[in-house]
Structure 1
Amino acid sequence: MDFQPTVQQDLLRKAVRQFAEDEIAPLVNEMEITDNTPTDLVRKMGEQGFMGVTIPVEYGGTGMGHLARMIMVEEVGRISAGIAMALQVMQMGAGMVIDLGSLAQKAEYSPLLAQGKILIAPAITESSGGSDLEGLSTRAVDEGDYYSLTGRKVFITNSHISELAVIVAKNEGGAKRDFSAFLIKNGTEGFRRGRVERKIGFHGCITGELIMENCRIPKENLFGEKGRGLAIALEGINNYGRMGMVGIALGLMQASLEASVKFAQERVLYGKPISNLAPIQFKIAEIYADLEASRFLAYNAAWLIDHKKKSDTQVSSAKFFSTEAALQCTRKAMDIYGAYGCMKDYPLERYCRDAQLLVPADGTNDIMRVIAGRNLAMKK
C-alpha cells in the first residue's frame, strides 16, 4: 500500500496553496464584513481550472478526478472555508452535468462550467425536505410541450451568483418516490431568486432561496431520466457534496494545527514558550491525530469514487468523523490561544464558526451514521 502522493498531486497542492495565499487570503477580512462572494476571484478560479477538476479534458476540464478535488478544496479551505464551500458546490453542479446529463447538455454546458464562464447551483433542499428527500414539495407538471414547476428551494449555495440551477421536483400525480430533475436558466419565466440568508460562518459564500412560480421548463431541460430525480440528487450529494464538506473540514483542521503550533512557539508564559507545556502539547497532538485520521478516511473515499466503486459507507463515515473532528480541533486551537482566540484579530473564532456549519450540510451527521451503520449492520 503506497501512501506517497503522486508528483501531480504534490504539484497541484503547491499550486492551489499558492493561489489561495496570494488571491484569497487578502480578501478574507472584507468577506467577513460584507459576506459577498468576490466575482473577480470566482473568474480567476475558473481560469485556473478549479471548476473543471472532475470534467474530462475533451469537455474543457482537467480530468484530474475526485482525489485531486479533495486536495484542492482542502487547500482553499485552509485559507477560507467560505470560498471553499462556494467552490465545492460549483464543482458539484459541474460534475453532476458531466456525470448525469444528456449528451446535448454536456456539449452545451460542460465546457463553460469547466472554465467558470457560467456557474451552476444544485438546488435540492426545501423547508419540507432536506435529509428527508421524499418530503420535497416542489411540483413538476407535464404540460405536454413543457414542464411547469412550482416550489421554493432554501439554503441554496451560490443561489444569487449562478446562471444555471439543477432543480429536483416531485412529478405531479406520480408515486411516492417519483421525482425528476431539471436544468433551469436564469431569466426563465417564473424563476427568481428569493431571500439571502445570514449565516454565522462561511462568509464569502452566498446562500439563499430559489423560487419557481409556474416556471415553464422546455422538455430538453429534463436532467437525466424522468423519475430518477432522487437517484440523481443522492449521487451528486454523495460523490460531491459530502466529500466537499470533508475537504473543508481538512482545511480548517490544517489551519488550526498551523496556527496552534505558531502561537504556542511565540507565546511566552512562566519564562518560556507555552509549546513547552504538556497540556498544550496534548492539544496539538490531538489536533494532528484527528487531522491525519480524517485525511485517510477522506482520501480513501475519494479513491473509491475515482475508481467507480461503491462508496456511500466510506463517504458517510468520512463526513461525520471529519466534520466533528473539525469542531473539536478548532475549539482546541482556540483554547491554546486563550483570550486571544476570542478576538477577531485572530482567525480562531472564524474557524470555530465555520466548522459549525459543516455538520448539517449535505446530510446531517446523524443521517451519516444511519447510512454507514445500516450498510454495515445489514451487510451479508
Structure 2
Amino acid sequence: MAGGIVERVARGEMFFGIASTEPSGGSDVAGIKTRAERDGDSYRVYGEKILISGVREALETLDYGGWLLLARTGGEGHRGLSAFAFTGKWGGRLADGLEYSILDTIGRHGISTGILRLDGVEVPGSRLVGGEGRGFYVAMEGFPLARILVAAANIGAAKWALERAVEWSRERRLFGGRPIASFQGVSFSIAEAFAELEAARLLVYRAAWTADRYVRGEASREELNLYSASAKLKAVDTAFSIFQATMKIIGGISFTKEVDVHRGLLGTLSYLVGAEGAQNIMKYIIARDLIGREYVKL
C-alpha cells in the first residue's frame, strides 16, 4: 500500500480501517453511491459513509488515519467500483473537504463509530488499490478474513462471560447457604453454554484453516465464503446467547453498571445486527455457496 501507510500502522502511529457502508445500506456493496471523479492525476471523492469504525482514533487521537474506501469510478454494479487507500488525516492535518461526526453507540466502546462526509476530497491516483474497477474484488478478498477475526473475537468474549458465570455459580449462595451451581437450572445452563462455545470455537478454527488453504491455492473462494460466514454466524449467535445466560445467572445486579457483563452483551450485539455483515447476510452467503448461485439469488 502506497505512501508508508502499512509501516505507520505497524508502528502504531496510524489507524487504518475500511469505509464501505453507506446510509442506503451496508451489505449491498455493489450498490455503493459514493463516487470518485478523475481530476488530472488525482480523484475527487463525493459521498457519505456511515457506521465506520475508528473515526475518532483516525481523525482525532492519532496524527495519521484513513480507510480502504470504496467509491464508484464507473457505471452501475460491482464492476464500476474502485478501492482507494484514503488518508483522512496525514501529519496532523485533516483532508480538505472531509467532515466527520462520532455516533453515540450503545456498546462496543473500545473503538469509535462514526460518519464520514466527503465533498470533493482529493485522493492521489497513486492511492488507487488494484486498479480502476477492481474495488469490489479487493473488498471481497478482505471480508471473509474479517469475518473470521470477528468470530474469533466473539469466542474470546464468550469465554470470558462463561468464566464469570462459573465463578458466580460457585460463590453465590441461597436457600440455606447452597451455591447456586447446585441447582440444575444454573449448572445445566452453564453446561450447554460450554458445549455451544466449543462447537463455535472449532468452526472458527476450521474457517481460519480454510483461509490458509485458500491463500495457498488449495481451497476455493466458495469454500472460504462458506466457512467464514458460518463461523461468524455461529460465533456471534453463541456469544450473545452466553452473555444472556450469564446475566440471568448473575441476576438483577447484572442490569447495573456495577457489574460489567452488560458491556460484552452490547458489544456482541453490534456484530449480531450488522458489523461485518448482518446475520441474515451470513445465512444468504452460506445458502448461496452451499446450494449454488443459480438457485439462491438476491
Which of 67, 70, 81 is residue 165 of structure 1 equivalent to?
67
SS of the residue corresponding to residue 198 of structure 1 reads: coil
Q: Which residue identity lines up with residue 20 of structure 2 in the other structure?
A: I
Residues 1:119 and 2:15 aligned together: yes
Which of 140, 150, 172 is residue 36 of structure 2 equivalent to?
140
Number of the residue aligned with 1:90: none
2: CA distance between counterparts of 1:263 and 1:139? 53
SS of the residue corresponding to residue 231 of structure 1 reads: helix
Which of 233, 236, 249 is residue 336 of structure 1 equivalent to?
249
Which of 176, 186, 198 is residue 292 of structure 1 equivalent to?
198
1: CA distance between counterparts of 2:268 and 2:41? 46
The one-character-per-residue Cα deviations of 1:48-107 (angstroms, maximum 9, x if unpaired) are xxxxxxxxxxxxxxxxxxxxxxxxxxxxxxxxxxxxxxxxxxxxxxxxxxxxx4xxx2x8
Which is richer in strand? 2
1: CA distance between counterparts of 2:231 and 2:24? 27
The one-character-per-residue Cα deviations of 1:245-281 (angstroms, maximum 9, x if unpaired) are 2122112210111000000000111221111111111
1: CA distance between counterparts of 2:195 and 2:97? 47
Number of the residue aligned with 2:141: 235
Which is richer in helix? 1
Number of the residue aligned with 2:81: 179
Question: Do the aligned partners of 1:160 and 1:193 also contact (CA within 8 Å) in 2?
Answer: no
Residues 1:252 and 2:153 aligned together: no
Question: Do the aligned partners of 2:158 and 2:243 also contact (CA within 8 Å) in 1?
Answer: yes
Give the gaps of 5 or more residues in structure 1: 1-100
Which of 127, 145, 162 is residue 221 of structure 1 equivalent to?
127
Question: Do the aligned partners of 2:83 and 2:138 also contact (CA within 8 Å) in 1?
Answer: yes
Question: Do the aligned partners of 1:193 and 1:211 also contact (CA within 8 Å) in 2?
Answer: yes
2: CA distance between counterparts of 1:154 and 1:349? 25
SS of the residue corresponding to residue 162 of structure 2 reads: helix
Which of 172, 191, 202 is residue 267 of structure 1 equivalent to?
172
Question: Structure 1 residues 303 and 191 mapped into 2: Cα distance closer, same or farther (>3 Å)?
Answer: farther
Q: Which residue identity lines up with residue 375 of structure 1 in the other structure?
A: D
2: CA distance between counterparts of 1:181 and 1:190? 20
Number of the residue aligned with 1:211: 117
SS of the residue corresponding to residue 261 of structure 1 reads: helix
Which of 40, 45, 49 is residue 149 of structure 1 equivalent to?
45
2: CA distance between counterparts of 1:147 and 1:343? 50
Question: Structure 1 residues 192 and 337 mapped into 2: Cα distance closer, same or farther (>3 Å)?
Answer: same
Residues 1:371 and 2:285 aligned together: yes
SS of the residue corresponding to residue 57 of structure 2 reads: coil
Question: Do the aligned partners of 1:155 and 1:207 also contact (CA within 8 Å) in 2?
Answer: yes
- The ranges of structure 1 where at least 4 consecutive aligned residues each deviate by more than 6 angstroms after the TM superposition are none
Question: Do the aligned partners of 2:98 and 2:121 also contact (CA within 8 Å) in 1?
Answer: no
Number of the residue aligned with 1:352: 265
Question: Do the aligned partners of 1:252 and 1:351 also contact (CA within 8 Å) in 2?
Answer: yes
Q: Where do 1:277-288 residues align within 5 Å?
A: 277-288=183-194
State the shift of 1:191 in Å: 4.1
Aligned residues: 274
2: CA distance between counterparts of 1:188 and 1:342? 40
Question: Structure 1 residues 191 and 245 mapped into 2: Cα distance closer, same or farther (>3 Å)?
Answer: farther
Question: Do the aligned partners of 2:31 and 2:77 also contact (CA within 8 Å) in 1?
Answer: no
**Identity percentage of aligned residues:** 30
Which of 296, 301, 304 is residue 210 of structure 2 equivalent to?
304
1: CA distance between counterparts of 2:119 and 2:187? 57
Question: Do the aligned partners of 1:250 and 1:294 also contact (CA within 8 Å) in 2?
Answer: yes
2: CA distance between counterparts of 1:120 and 1:192? 16
Which of 198, 208, 227 is residue 104 of structure 2 equivalent to?
198
SS of the residue corresponding to residue 70 of structure 2 reads: strand
Question: Do the aligned partners of 2:70 and 2:83 also contact (CA within 8 Å) in 1?
Answer: yes
SS of the residue corresponding to residue 250 of structure 1 reads: helix
2: CA distance between counterparts of 1:158 and 1:348? 23
**TM-score, L = length of structure 1:** 0.69
State the shift of 1:223 in Å: 1.4
Question: Do the aligned partners of 2:45 and 2:119 also contact (CA within 8 Å) in 1?
Answer: yes
Give the gaps of 5 or more residues in structure 2: 59-64
Q: Which residue identity lines up with residue 283 of structure 2 in the other structure?
A: R
The CA RMSD over aligned residues, in Å, is: 1.8
State the shift of 1:176 in Å: 2.4
2: CA distance between counterparts of 1:286 and 1:118? 42
Q: Which residue identity lines up with residue 175 of structure 2 in the other structure?
A: Y
State the shift of 1:324 in Å: 0.9
State the shift of 1:225 in Å: 1.7
After superposing the two structures, state which structure 1 stretch, 315-324 or 134-143, moved more: 134-143
Q: Which residue identity lines up with residue 54 of structure 2 in the other structure?
A: N
2: CA distance between counterparts of 1:245 and 1:195? 25
2: CA distance between counterparts of 1:145 and 1:379? 39
